[in-house]
Amino acid sequence: MRPIRTFNVSPSLPPRLEPLRKLAYNLHWDWNFETKDLFHRLDRDLWESSRHNPVLMLGTISQERLREVAEDEGFLAHMERAARQLDGYLTERTWYRKQKAKDQQACYAYFSAEFGLTDSLPIYSGGLGVLAGDHLKSASDLGLPLVAVGLLYQEGYFAQYLNADGWQQERYPINDFYNMPLEPERHPDGSEIRISVEYPGRTVYARVWRVQVGTVPLYLLDTNIEPNSPYDHDITDELYGGDIDMRIHQEMMLGIGGVRMLEALGLKPTVYHMNEGHSAFLALERIRKMIQEDGLTFTEASQVAQSTQVFTTHTPVAAGIDLFPPDKIMHYLGHYAGTFGFPREEFLALGRENTGDFSSPFSMAILAIKMATFINGVSQLHGEVSRHMFQSLWSNFPLNEVPITAITNGVHARSCVAKSTQELYDRYLGPNWSDAAPDHPLWERVESIPDEELWRNHERCRSALVVFVRDRLQKNVRDRGGSLSELAQAQEVLDPTVLTIGFARRFATYKRASLFLRNLERIKEILQGGSRHRAVQFVIAGKAHPRDIPGKELIRQIVHFIRAEGLSRYVVFIPDYDIHVARLMVAGCDVWLNTPRRPREASGTSGMKAAMNGLPNLSILDGWWDEADYVKTGWPIGHGEDYEDPNYQDEVEANALYDLLEQQIVPLFYDRDAEGLPRGWIAKMKHAIHLNCPRFNTARMVRDYAMQAYFPASDRYQAMVNNQYAAAKELSHWKAHLFEHWYDMKIQDIDISQPADIQVNETISVKARLKLGALTPADVQVELYQGSVNAEGEIADGVSVEMEYQGQDPNQHSIYTIDISYTSSGLQGLSLRVLPKNEYLSSPYEPGLILWAEA
Ligand SMILES: *Cc1c(COP(=O)(O)O)cnc(C)c1O
């Protein structure tokens, strides 16, 4: 039955409790224990049953309970404290103001297909989403003028449960937006703000919801409204759901709809950050607007777009990139080609690596790269992998100069460190530890935390995990009508005193969740601890993508192993991994295990959360762990080898894992002194906190994005658009001139003062004559490129120095000179190259042009 009218019924609060509403609707409570404890205190059972959703709680709590707490002076004082903390938080974030006091116009728009902020807002699937959520929280902590854009999925990412055979089943909870920490955005007259996007043959409408994340608003589009067709209702139905057509629909809504939404909200972003390629269509929409509304040409408009867009890639393999067939792109987005004045192949070239290959699909990553001024991978190793992957876009550039850099991921400390552990850090390090830089002296004070206190606290976290796991398993048994003996068994799992290994992440096959089961005899021996009572237990969690059959196989394999070997006490699979489960696991396990196939893990972040809680990591040298101090803060599995044969690799790495457990990890954990403390282990925990907490932290990460990407791009935006886009026009005309005449340029000759044999520190003078043709010395920088020569006869990892322009000779050749000397011996080489130069370019690499002296 369809209703003839609908009402949004909001909770009715006694006037004295009105502050609860503001507290509930700002997700700041997620990383503020004062407020979290307040909701817990309000109604402990509802807090748990609502999945920690204060809005739902306030909507369903009995009026009687509300009247009761309205008279409870203790509760009211607690509420006032929480409200004061929120108000203080909202006004006292100063990092950004110190950096950019004068920039009032800056606005950074952060686009992502998913956001993982808190478990009661299930619009994320895994690491990418949690990273985006942490990005917003730290942007808020630092006071950045950031706004976020995403889609509001009607169905949350699935809830997982296992059938009796251990096969993953999915349940799709319907998100009830009116009982979530969301509010519809409205015009001053109270009507909903709506935007529209054209799809073939029709217009699709979306309304706008806001989630308040501290000071950062997250705006989410929702197409589940009239008069959209049933198909269009479903555009924002399911995260990564549907077929390729639905995927294009979603990405159009995110990118194009996102730009329109920001405009409808009256926002004028100066920087657009694409978190992964899903939102890259935003570039097309921005260019269209500048052509149609501001009268720019395509080259002028794309110059502005490119100069102000940032792209973060998260994918280390080509198969992970979003690709669309050319015909589909033309079907859905062909009207953009019309506006740009582009024939088909020229338009499709925007998303192609090899623009001459008319059969190649349209890649969202390539579009994003071509339309970005700053491009980064998410760990140093992933930056390197990405430079390899996309090298052909900068042909003739040395690999190490491909302008794709890395900003290593982080996690939000106040969200992922257990409450008692935060209190411990607050006490010994002071309250600023959660976003202090790695070189801050407070980190030295980690040493001053008494071993005993750190250890007892950690043991309490482990016990809390054990209690949680038992409760969760019992609930599952009851939900599926299991027997009493199963219930009793669930009550017995895990031992709160035993060395606990945690493994939790998406069950993608490259993550090799079952690697530890490769040799059953050996792992059984390890689990049972032999005769020395040094047992080991595993807590495992994670979801497989609903269509990933091999991933589901892995889960079943683990469940079958547990049953067949009768090891249900010592190996536990917790169903329905989410942010809440993750937080308990990274606090309560002793070691965090990760066994991906290098270099498939672009970064990985759960190990960072564990490290912040003081856990050593035990991991393949991949992603973030490859750049961590993996000896002091944990154990590396292998040495970063690459293997051809996956079976052989599994064998070698599983054995390395068993060796480490047997020879190092188990002995260190169980080596207790007279006071019962594992001193060696505690030392490793302290190193993990000291060295990893400040580095693999979104406070550091967002500061890096701000300094390296947002600030320069935002300044460039303002330079570009001033005076009716004067600079953008000048730059794009200059570029056209540059492209036209670049290949006429010639390096005439190079004079080198010295013969082939020279000594260290001897000065060599180099003089070059260039024919610049229609270009001028102001348009180019001439560089000497030098470095040692490798076995292939190439200059490896060379460095460049700009040469000095000395004027023209009578033949109108431009003369450049430089003096150099070598500081090390061996076979050294030098060459000469020319790059474009212009004050408005974001870097000399932007046009992708380089001219080398011919050998
Ligand atoms: C942190 C987190 C992830 C990401 O973990 P990885 O180690 O990057 O795989 C995934 N899901 C949840 C719920 C998380 O909290």
Quickly list DSSP for 576-612: S--HHHHHHHHHH-SEEEE---TT--S---HHHHHHH
Report H helices in 769-848. Answer: none
Domain end point (choices 696, 718, 736)? 696
Domain membership flag for residue 690: yes
pTM: 0.96
Nearest atom (ligand 1) to Cα of 582: 15
User: Does residue 183 sit in the same domain as residue 314?
Assistant: yes
User: Does residue 42 sit in the same domain as residue 105?
Assistant: no
Domain membership flag for residue 706: no
Q: Is 147 helix (H, G, I), strand (E, B) or coil?
A: strand
Q: Which of 120, 123, 130, 626 to mutate to test the pocket of ligand 1 (most atoms within 8 A of CB)?
A: 130
Compute the distance from residue 126 Cα to the ligand 1 centre, in Å. Answer: 5
Q: How far is CA 758 from CA 466, 590, 761, 825, 830, in A?
A: 69, 58, 9, 9, 13
Q: What is the pLDDT of residue 626?
A: 98
* Main-chain phi, psi angles of 293, to 5 degrees: -100, -30
Compute the distance from residue 624 Cα to the ligand 1 centre, in Å. Answer: 13
Ligand 1 site residues, Cβ closer than 6 angstroms? 126-127, 130, 505-506, 577-579, 582, 604-607, 609
Q: In the structure encoding, which two tokens stand for residue 792, read together?
A: 């292939």
Nearest atom (ligand 1) to Cα of 125: 11
Q: Please, what's the b/e burial string for 446-469 (b: 16 or more CB within 10 A of its CB; e: otherwise)? A: beebebeebbebbebbbebbbebb
Q: Which residue owns the Cα nearest ligand 1 atom 8? A: 604
Q: Which of 119, 412, 505 to mutate to test the pocket of ligand 1 (most atoms within 8 A of CB)?
A: 505
Report the distance separating Cα 384 and Cα 399, nearest Å: 9
Compute the distance from residue 455 Cα to the ligand 1 centre, in Å. Answer: 25
Domain membership flag for residue 110: yes
Domain end point (choices 60, 91, 122)? 91
Which residues of the chain fall below pLDDT 70? 1, 8-9, 531-532
User: Does residue 79 sit in the same domain as residue 101?
Assistant: no
User: Does residue 273 sit in the same domain as residue 372?
Assistant: yes
User: Does residue 79 sit in the same domain as residue 110?
Assistant: no
Q: What is the pLDDT of residue 318?
A: 85
User: Does residue 85 sit in the same domain as residue 99?
Assistant: no
User: Does residue 502 sit in the same domain as residue 369?
Assistant: no
Q: What is the pLDDT of residue 136?
A: 98
Q: What is the pLDDT of residue 531?
A: 63
Q: How far is CA 115 from CA 145, 346, 370, 408, in A?
A: 18, 34, 25, 18
Compute the distance from residue 88 Cα to the ligand 1 centre, in Å. Answer: 31
287 and 305 Cβ atoms separated by less than 8 Å = yes
Domain membership flag for residue 467: no
Over residues 3-43, the pLDDT tens digits come to 777 776 677 899 999 999 999 999 999 999 999 999 999 99
Nearest atom (ligand 1) to Cα of 606: 7
User: Does residue 789 sit in the same domain as residue 690?
Assistant: no
User: Does residue 300 sit in the same domain as residue 398?
Assistant: yes
Domain end point (choices 666, 696, 726)? 696
Report the distance separating Cα 639 and Cα 714, nearest Å: 41
Over residues 580-596, the pLDDT tens digits come to 999 999 999 999 999 99
Compute the distance from residue 487 Cα to the ligand 1 centre, in Å. Answer: 29
User: Does residue 770 sit in the same domain as residue 802?
Assistant: yes
> CATH number, domain at 765?
2.60.40
Q: With the C-alpha atoms ordered 410, 414, 418, 420, is the resulting torsion angle positive or negative?
A: positive
Nearest atom (ligand 1) to Cα of 604: 8
Compute the distance from residue 505 Cα to the ligand 1 centre, in Å. Answer: 5
Domain membership flag for residue 463: no
User: Does residue 44 sit in the same domain as residue 112?
Assistant: no
> CATH number, domain at 325?
3.40.50.2000
Domain membership flag for residue 630: yes
Domain tally, the chain: 4
Nearest atom (ligand 1) to Cα of 416: 15
Domain membership flag for residue 77: yes
User: Domain range holding 378?
Assistant: 95-406
Q: What is the pLDDT of residue 826?
A: 84
User: Does residue 774 sit in the same domain as residue 677?
Assistant: no
